[in-house]
Chain A
């Protein structure tokens, strides 16, 4: 594999996700065919059995999500991939993965919605659904990819976060990233940092599967390891047994949140471009971040002091990075292929400090660098 990786590969985003998953140690995929995510399943159906892993096409996305949670509990790194309509169906067992703290990765290659919507058109309409789609109060990690290379590296990071914090991690791709082909130089698998869940080291009798260490994360035993324990979607105590005791319920919820807040510096990822002297800036994510970067570069050529903050982590929303920039700049442009699902987060963090300008497309068309370039020029305050 290492020899092969020395020459660049011409890959589409979906294929790069597969490469990332395999390098990260994913050995189980369960899912259901759906455009524009199907290539991920197709490629994994070829690759996984060759490395001793398992691929299964289930009867629907509900089953796909259930199966990856089961596989992860049996000790295997697992993922599923889907698009809008399937993402609606996975929400039920995604909630289960949140409550039972089962590491797994869910890829949603976004297409136009709601419902069957626009199956082959790009959109970013599932951002708030990724955050709040499954019912009940819960923290969640949502990452967005914008290039083919991202699709590789962020997938590895998604597995690492899932394993380290015992959480499901959602990767939002979109139709543009998924189907764009780019030449990429993938790193040698040996050079990629891969994290694995911590296994219990105490004797089985002492094992408390939901006690949590200082970070709030509990070591995770696999079914069959000798650490017999109970896993449930009910709110549970340290042993995993259902509880309605208010103190235990509150403790449970707080620990789930705490383990994510403790990991903010690692989980919250952004890329900053031309921000040092910026007076204006753009906040963008996914394929739109590519258009935004080009627009910013073009505007810079004209002397416009504009920068770009690309969000890789959408949730937990990286407010620690964004807040100082909102203080630094006069205005921020938030382009999105939806009606404003991240701009509302920006406004929430902004609290009136800086002018927030939305730029939204909901017509199934990609936001081009040209339209953002013009939008940036309109934002320049008169001299």
Chain B
């Protein structure tokens, strides 16, 4: 089912005083936002029951533009606020949108514990390998040797693989796409939101302004096209050696498992506690 962009805009963008948006022309954030809205539309989630939480950075501004219950929190803390919202009202659909620095540097502790805790939440991480809003400093996903405003002599640290981190930390569902693979992204976000448990979707995205330019990766189109060449499917990646996988982006579903969900387990705790209280 294709959904006309105009219908999406009319239905989901706020009609009052939030534009122009802060994103640079060609930014991948818009593609992610479109995919999220299409997933919400396809799943027919009521706008009143939808909560979109974000942290700080370019990705953090996304909730401002969207007609949901929106929560623009502090840097790295989107998942902590989202945890409170979800536990207080489990009927709500809670999605956290974060950047790479947001989710895995300042918010790294919250991210791994949210994965371990396995609440019924969806986390979308737009990974553009840089701190864009603050002017292009290196992030936990900036590749070794690359240039940023705080690594002009070449970056000497190694990058996180956000998805592998999420798998290891215990997330129920982990998937990766790029902003080139918009159709795949639509499907992955839909699956993630349907998933009962903590679901992570990492989206490789372009910051041609702060990252691409300094690393001679071209403009937005060049960068987005490069994801097409670098992408390999999960099935293909499994057949390759680590050396062969170097410089490639594995896309698709990396983990999908069913585990007890703490929101539901807590209902059982409430029942046990209430029974004991009655006896006393």
Per-residue B-contact encoding for A193-213, CB less than 8 Å = 1, 0 else: 000000000000000000000
Per-residue A-contact encoding for B184-224, CB less than 8 Å = 1, 0 else: 00000000000000000000000000000000000000000
A92 adjacent to B85 (CB under 8 Å) = no
Given A52-B270, A229-B69, A241-B18, verify A75-B89 contact (CB < 8 Å).
yes
A135 to chain B, nearest CB (A): 12
B69 adjacent to A224 (CB under 8 Å) = yes
Q: Is B88 interfacial (CB-CB < 8 Å)?
A: yes
Q: Which of A55-63, A172-180, A257-265, A321-329 contacts B (4 or more CB under 8 A)?
A: A55-63
Per-residue A-contact encoding for B12-45, CB less than 8 Å = 1, 0 else: 0010111000000000000000000000000000
Complex-state Cα separation, A60 to B70, whole angstroms: 24
Residues of B within 8 A of A92 (CB): 74, 77
Residues of B within 8 A of A54 (CB): 87-88, 266
Residues of A within 8 A of B14 (CB): 230
Q: Which of A136-144, A232-240, A372-380 contacts B (4 or more CB under 8 A)?
A: A232-240
Q: Which of A51, A56, A224 has a CB less than 8 Å from the CB of B92?
A: A224
A75 adjacent to B88 (CB under 8 Å) = yes
Residues of B within 8 A of A285 (CB): none
B74 adjacent to A239 (CB under 8 Å) = no
Q: Is B146 interfacial (CB-CB < 8 Å)?
A: no
B69 adjacent to A63 (CB under 8 Å) = no
B77 adjacent to A71 (CB under 8 Å) = no
Which residues of chain A from 28 to 46 have a CB within 8 Å of any chain B CB?
A: 28, 30, 46
Given A54-B266, A59-B113, A230-B70, verify A224-B81 contact (CB < 8 Å).
no
Complex-state Cα separation, A62 to B73, whole angstroms: 12
A49 adjacent to B270 (CB under 8 Å) = yes
Residues of B within 8 A of A358 (CB): none
Complex-state Cα separation, A208 to B216, whole angstroms: 47
Given A63-B113, A223-B51, A232-B64, verify A70-B69 contact (CB < 8 Å).
no
Complex-state Cα separation, A230 to B269, whole angstroms: 33
Given A58-B113, A223-B51, A241-B64, verify A74-B89 contact (CB < 8 Å).
yes
Complex-state Cα separation, A67 to B80, whole angstroms: 5
B84 adjacent to A50 (CB under 8 Å) = no
Given A49-B266, A74-B92, A224-B92, verify A230-B80 contact (CB < 8 Å).
no
A123 to chain B, nearest CB (A): 28
Complex-state Cα separation, A231 to B63, whole angstroms: 9
Given A228-B47, A241-B18, verify A56-B74 contact (CB < 8 Å).
no
Complex-state Cα separation, A314 to B88, whole angstroms: 31
Q: Which of B133-141, B233-241, B252-260, B272-280 contacts A (4 or more CB under 8 A)?
A: B272-280
Number of interface residues of B (CB under 8 A): 43
Residues of B within 8 A of A58 (CB): 80, 83, 113
Q: Is B72 interfacial (CB-CB < 8 Å)?
A: yes
Which residues of chain A from 61 to 81 have a CB within 8 Å of any chain B CB?
A: 62-76, 78
Residues of B within 8 A of A49 (CB): 266, 269-270, 272-274
B81 adjacent to A233 (CB under 8 Å) = no
Q: Is B109 interfacial (CB-CB < 8 Å)?
A: yes
A66 adjacent to B72 (CB under 8 Å) = no
Given A58-B80, A63-B83, A93-B74, verify A74-B274 contact (CB < 8 Å).
no
Q: Is B68 interfacial (CB-CB < 8 Å)?
A: yes
Q: Is A226 interfacial (CB-CB < 8 Å)?
A: yes
B73 adjacent to A56 (CB under 8 Å) = no
Complex-state Cα separation, A70 to B121, whole angstroms: 14
Q: Is A242 interfacial (CB-CB < 8 Å)?
A: yes
Residues of A within 8 A of B110 (CB): 59, 62-63, 66
Q: Which of B71, B109, B276 has a CB less than 8 Å from the CB of A231?
A: B71
Residues of A within 8 A of B85 (CB): 70-71, 73-74, 223
A230 adjacent to B88 (CB under 8 Å) = no
Q: Is A87 interfacial (CB-CB < 8 Å)?
A: no
B80 adjacent to A63 (CB under 8 Å) = yes
B73 adjacent to A66 (CB under 8 Å) = yes
Complex-state Cα separation, A13 to B112, whole angstroms: 35
Q: Is A96 interfacial (CB-CB < 8 Å)?
A: yes
A223 adjacent to B72 (CB under 8 Å) = no
Candidate in B69, B73, B266 with the most chain A CB atoms within 10 angstroms? B69
Q: Is B48 interfacial (CB-CB < 8 Å)?
A: yes
Residues of A within 8 A of B69 (CB): 223-224, 228-229
Given A63-B113, A66-B74, A223-B69, verify A74-B273 contact (CB < 8 Å).
no
Per-residue B-contact encoding for A89-125, CB less than 8 Å = 1, 0 else: 0001100100000000000000000000000000000
Residues of A within 8 A of B17 (CB): 237, 239, 241
Candidate in A58, A223, A239 with the most chain B CB atoms within 10 angstroms? A223
Minimal Cβ-Cβ distance residue in B for A46? B273
Q: Is A297 interfacial (CB-CB < 8 Å)?
A: no
Complex-state Cα separation, A234 to B74, whole angstroms: 9
Residues of A within 8 A of B273 (CB): 46, 49-50
Complex-state Cα separation, A246 to B240, whole angstroms: 58
Q: List 14 A-B contacts (CB under 8 A).
A: A49-B266, A50-B270, A54-B87, A56-B83, A65-B80, A72-B88, A73-B71, A74-B89, A93-B77, A223-B85, A223-B89, A224-B89, A228-B47, A241-B64
Which chain A residues have a beta carbon within 8 Å of chain B's beta carbons?
27-28, 30, 46, 49-52, 54, 56, 58-60, 62-76, 78, 92-93, 96, 222-226, 228-234, 237, 239, 241-242
